[in-house]
Chains A and B, each alone.
With several copies, the nearest count.
Chain A
Amino acid sequence: MNKVFASSREAVADVFDGATVLFGGWGLAGNPTNLIRALYEKGVKDIVAISNNPGTIHNGIPYDLATLIREKRVRKFIGSYHGWNQDFIEQWRTGEIEFECSPQGTMAERIRAAGAGIGGFYTTTGADTDLAAGKERKIINGVEHVLELPLPADFAFVKAKRGDPWGNLIYRYTAQNFNSIMAMAGKVTIAEVEELVELESLDVNHIHTPGIYVQRIVKGEEYERRV
């Protein structure tokens, strides 16, 4: 039983064209940058990407998911926010990329539901808006709710500060964001960590992602400072 991979390249080797992938990160914090780079270099296409925002473009340079979108490798994006990614907006206008917009909290809960084996849930979020179109409705305690369904994926790419060989993960500050719930929802969850530590080094009481959710772990090759 070995979850530790020697490189990001090996860790993503079986990600196939057309795969649905959850990408952790919110803005510039907590993105699995090494796994995304490996996916980019592998040339995987037709990806269905689930992430809060379609990466970031800063001073014209694409970061994270935005690198894949610039190369038109993403067929469909499920997220809460366009993040003013002009490549994404342009491809959306021309119909080259499909966009399923989910309110951010609903999206987080749908991802958790996928990981936790919940068949669906009711929320008031967006019930009186255009985003309720096509959704099943139900009045609970006199208030209109919409039914939201789980959002599972073939793979989840997550990034943590520290991890151990069994896949236990610890995040720092706002770099946790979607990572811990996405780790629950990938059929195969691949974690990259800044520090890969010995099995007994993490505090039993303070593990954010228990290793049960993680199938592969790799020490990220490179972390550049962005802010």
Chain B
Amino acid sequence: MSAGSRLTEDQIAQRAAMEIRDGEVVNVGAGMPFLVSQYVPPGIFAMFHIEHGILGVGKVAGGEQIDPDLLGLGRRPLIPVPGASCFSSAEAFAMLRGGHVDLSVLGAYQVSEEGDLANWIVPGQPSGVGGAMDIVKNVKRLFITMTHTTKKGEPKIVKRCSLPLTGARVVHKIFTDIAVIEVTPKGLVLEEVAPGFTPEEVQAATEPRLIISPELKEISLQS
């Protein structure tokens, strides 16, 4: 076991959120990706998009604020930010398919060293593609937030996805509980490791060879 401390889901989301540029429109998927919307760094104006028809997702609502007509992913009640808008599913995907969204954050079962993504189907289950295939094809940048390995400890960052693809060569950056990895034409570049983790430990949990960035650093949540 490593002496390092893994990031929590919230911390992974927080680290990913630090990459958001001022003025960007960011689509978020269910689960950990959604949490990214809750950690926008101060001074950054970003508009969060969810596929079922909202642009301008704010904080999660509680108590009196809860509106049953304003739900996010997984029944989570939402508060819209100033400037938000709601619209049909067709419009929501026109934004995605039309290339109007700057960044999307999704989860993954597997990511390959070339940036292929598998996140829609596992053997023995009916498919659950949702909006993933629409999103990955036309968004300008695609981030993945996930645990570095499966519950059984198997690498999720692989040479070649064994599961059916959601899209080929679509992922730009991967944020896990132990690392930040960029997908580059030369291969996967390990840019950051969780506090206390060594590059070797990250490599051991990763199938393809990682290129260690000359500027390798520890993940920090201070911006």
A and B touch in the complex (CB under 8 A): yes
Chain A residues at the B interface, C-beta cutoff of 8 Å: 1, 26-30, 52, 58, 80-84, 88-89, 92-93, 99, 101, 103-106, 108-109, 111-112, 114-118, 123-131, 161, 164-166, 168, 171-181, 184, 199-200, 202, 204-205, 207-208, 210-213, 225-227
Q: Is B204 an interface residue (CB 8 A)?
A: no
Complex A-B: 18 CB contacts under 8 Å: A26-B53, A29-B69, A29-B70, A82-B125, A89-B125, A103-B129, A123-B97, A126-B134, A127-B137, A128-B167, A164-B83, A165-B83, A174-B78, A178-B89, A199-B83, A210-B85, A213-B100, A227-B66
Task: State A212–B101 Cα separation when bound (angstroms).
Answer: 8
With A116-B97, A123-B97, A174-B52 as known contacts, state yes or no: A210 contacts B87, CB within 8 Å.
yes
Contact of A166 among B47, B53, B168 (CB under 8 A): B47
Flag if A80 contacts B52 (CB, 8 Å).
no
- In the complex, which residues of chain B have a beta carbon less than 8 angstroms from the beta carbon of A126? 129, 133-134, 137
Task: State A212–B84 Cα separation when bound (angstroms).
Answer: 10
Task: State A114–B97 Cα separation when bound (angstroms).
Answer: 10
User: Within residues 159 to 202 of chain B, which ones have a CB less than 8 A from any CB in chain A?
Assistant: 164-168
With A104-B93, A116-B94, A125-B137 as known contacts, state yes or no: A212 contacts B55, CB within 8 Å.
yes
Flag if A125 contacts B89 (CB, 8 Å).
no
With A29-B71, A166-B83, A212-B47 as known contacts, state yes or no: A177 contacts B89, CB within 8 Å.
yes
Flag if A204 contacts B85 (CB, 8 Å).
yes
User: Within residues 123 to 146 of chain B, which ones have a CB less than 8 A from any CB in chain A?
Assistant: 124-135, 137-138
With A99-B126, A117-B97 as known contacts, state yes or no: A180 contacts B52, CB within 8 Å.
no
Flag if B54 contacts A174 (CB, 8 Å).
yes
- In the complex, which residues of chain A have a beta carbon less than 8 angstroms from the beta carbon of B69? 29-30, 161, 171-175
Q: Is B151 an interface residue (CB 8 A)?
A: no
Q: Is B56 an interface residue (CB 8 A)?
A: yes
Interface size in chain B (residues, C-beta < 8 A):
66
B26, chain A: closest CB distance, angstroms? 11
With A27-B71, A184-B98 as known contacts, state yes or no: A82 contacts B126, CB within 8 Å.
yes
Q: Is B31 an interface residue (CB 8 A)?
A: no
Q: Is B90 an interface residue (CB 8 A)?
A: yes
Chain B 69-80 interface 0/1 with A at a Cβ cutoff of 8 Å (1 = within): 111111101101
Q: Which 9 A-B pairs have the closest CB atoms?
A: A105-B93, A1-B23, A105-B134, A117-B97, A116-B94, A200-B82, A117-B98, A104-B131, A207-B85
User: In this complex, what residue of A is CB-closest to B61?
Assistant: A227
- Known contacts A176-B53, A212-B55, then 16 further A-B pairs from the complex at CB < 8 Å, ordered by chain A residue: A27-B74, A52-B52, A81-B128, A81-B130, A92-B126, A99-B126, A101-B129, A103-B132, A103-B133, A105-B96, A106-B134, A117-B94, A129-B164, A174-B86, A177-B89, A207-B87
